[in-house]
A and B are shown apart, each in its own frame.
Chain A
Amino acid sequence: MANSLFEEKLYSGEFLVTTEIGPPKGADTSEMVHHIDLLKDKVDAINVTDHQSSVMRFPSIGGCLLVKEHGGEPILQVTCRDRNRLAIQAELLLAYSRGIGNVLCLTGDSVDVGDHKEAKPVFDLDSVQLLKMARTMESGTDMEGNELKGAPKFCLGASVHPEADFIEPQLLKFEKKVAAGAQFFQTQGIFDLASLRRFMQYASQFDVKILAGIIVMASARMARYMNDNVPGIIVSQSIIDELATAEKGKGLQKGIEIAARLIKTIKEENLCHGVHIMAVGNESIVPDILEAAQLVGVRP
């Protein structure tokens, strides 16, 4: 009996498609709701990010509740940057009680890259400890062994970085996450399919599902900016060059083309179990990517 709709799909053998929505910096959720309505029937699940890049925003749990309200399947993102183990356990209970069963467990970007640089970084836990803690709660107790009145059940995910320039420590960490209970992984941006293939050769020995992260770049400048400033993103020179060939004003088109091409190849060659589309600040173009990649109409 699966813990969520997404978990069912995870084990169905279908090619999975997820995407993410960035909440607003403020209490006005109208645009976010618009994106939810636009995407909820086109993808298997929608992640709502948690102060992405350490920029203060409307919380992931709030966004997930809205996704649920509007009939979509949410994935809650929990980072360890802002809250201690008490607060996180509490949020997991809240999520489960409101039918949000999918949780992506992350350590979280450093406070220093965001817009509240003097804030106190918490990091009471890291992503591996968070995964283990969630699994402990499923067994009926909190992490101190105290009995829970109503144990939650989750479908747990984590992130991995197949294109890291020094891959061995990342693989070591990946194994720890699998051992701690991760069922699915959404990777950091994939730009080079060769590294994805190499990674999958290694990762396929584990019983986990891998969704390749696809980031849509709108221009060569954006790619370079993200390379320098956003943690976990390494855009290959060939992609930057290809983006640079776009005519003025057609940068986004090029970005969509590149993303669609990557997705099609991944699907046709069965490189991994699905894709996770990240259109940073540009959620409305996701349907265009799906169409270009010929992934429309496959969602029930």
Chain B
Amino acid sequence: MIVAEQKPLEEIRRMIVPYERVLIIGCGTCMTVCGTGGEREVSFLHNALRVAQAKSGNGTHTFSEYTLKRQCDPEFLDLLVDKVGDVDAILSLGCGIGVQAIAERLLDLSVLPGVNTSFMGMASEWGIWDERCAACGDCRLEETAGICPITRCTKGILNGPCAGTKNGKCEANKDMDCAWVLIYKRLERLEQLEKMRRYRPPRNFRTIPRPKRIMSRADIAVGGDNG
């Protein structure tokens, strides 16, 4: 899932300075799950901005709220079109994708990002999110017993470990496990250490096309069973 954190209130207040009527748009998918930009967070932010405005004595913004099920889907963006007639700017609490999707749709409005999109990750415990995937496009979890060296090794190396591991932790961050120690132990448990003995050639960092594109029309159209 995509995980983000709301920007500090100060920064948001600074961004909206030039705009009087601001529509705060939330997202009902990832941002709701991580408690950053769902309907409730939109409402809370709205109140916080109003209190801040009252306390500081400057700023004459008026705010409105709306939450889309997903900001990254043309189907839901359609719903926005007639809601922005008397709005000067949009403050999106969607991830970076959502902000851009809205911006591409509403070409005459400024769209501001209210969150810092940080990573793709999972909830290791309730309310605690950990990065797990870098979307490298060349998944090699089969070689590393399901532990990603790109995301979990600080250096992202493929022939690990390096000499900086101490007590199973990374030299750069003592609270962080050394991914390659984890990989070694898991491969050992699965009796697949051979995979770690194999030479892994350099990664393909090719950036073309940028941004990347995947066509999946045929896949979506087929649906279930035998097609």
Contact = CB atoms under 8 A, between A and B. Distances in A.
Q: Give yes or no for direct A-B contact (beta carbon below 8 Å).
A: yes
Interface of A: 80-81, 85, 107-113, 121, 123-129, 132-133, 143, 159-161, 164-166, 168-170, 172-173, 175-176, 179-180, 188, 231-232, 234
Q: Which of A128, A169, A170 has its CB near the most chain B CB atoms (within 10 A)?
A: A169
B40 interface: no
B161 interface: yes
Interface residues of B, number: 31
Contacts of A126: 155, 157-160, 162
20 contacts: A80-B157, A107-B155, A111-B172, A126-B155, A127-B159, A127-B162, A129-B201, A143-B202, A166-B181, A169-B165, A170-B163, A172-B193, A172-B196, A173-B159, A175-B197, A176-B197, A179-B199, A231-B163, A231-B171, A232-B164
Nearest to B154: A110
A170 to B, nearest CB: 7
A176 B205 contact: no
B156 A232 contact: no
Interface in B110-145: none
Nearest to A169: B184
Contacts of B156: 121, 123
A112 B166 contact: no
B167 interface: yes
B202 A125 contact: yes
B166 A165 contact: yes
Pairs of residues from A and B, 4 with the lowest C-beta to C-beta distance, nearest first:
A231-B164, A231-B171, A126-B157, A110-B172
Interface in B55-90: none
A134 to B, nearest CB: 13
Given A85-B202, A170-B161, A176-B199, A110 B155 contact: yes
A232 B199 contact: no
A169 B159 contact: no
Contacts of B172: 110-113
B199 to A, nearest CB: 6
B171 A110 contact: yes
B155 A164 contact: no
B173 interface: yes
A123 B163 contact: no
A169 B181 contact: yes
B168 interface: yes
B184 A123 contact: no
Contacts of B161: 169-170, 173
Nearest to B159: A128
A276 B180 CA distance: 27
A231 B155 CA distance: 13
A110 B184 CA distance: 21
Interface string B189-227: 000010011011111010000000000000000000000
Contacts of B203: 124
Contacts of A172: 184, 193, 196-197
Contacts of B171: 109-110, 113, 231-232
A128 B199 contact: yes
B38 to A, nearest CB: 32
A232 B163 CA distance: 5
B131 to A, nearest CB: 16
Given A188-B163, A232-B164, 20 more contacts: A110-B154, A112-B172, A121-B154, A121-B156, A123-B155, A123-B156, A126-B160, A129-B158, A129-B201, A129-B202, A161-B163, A164-B163, A166-B165, A169-B160, A170-B161, A170-B163, A172-B184, A172-B196, A176-B197, A180-B199
Contacts of A175: 197
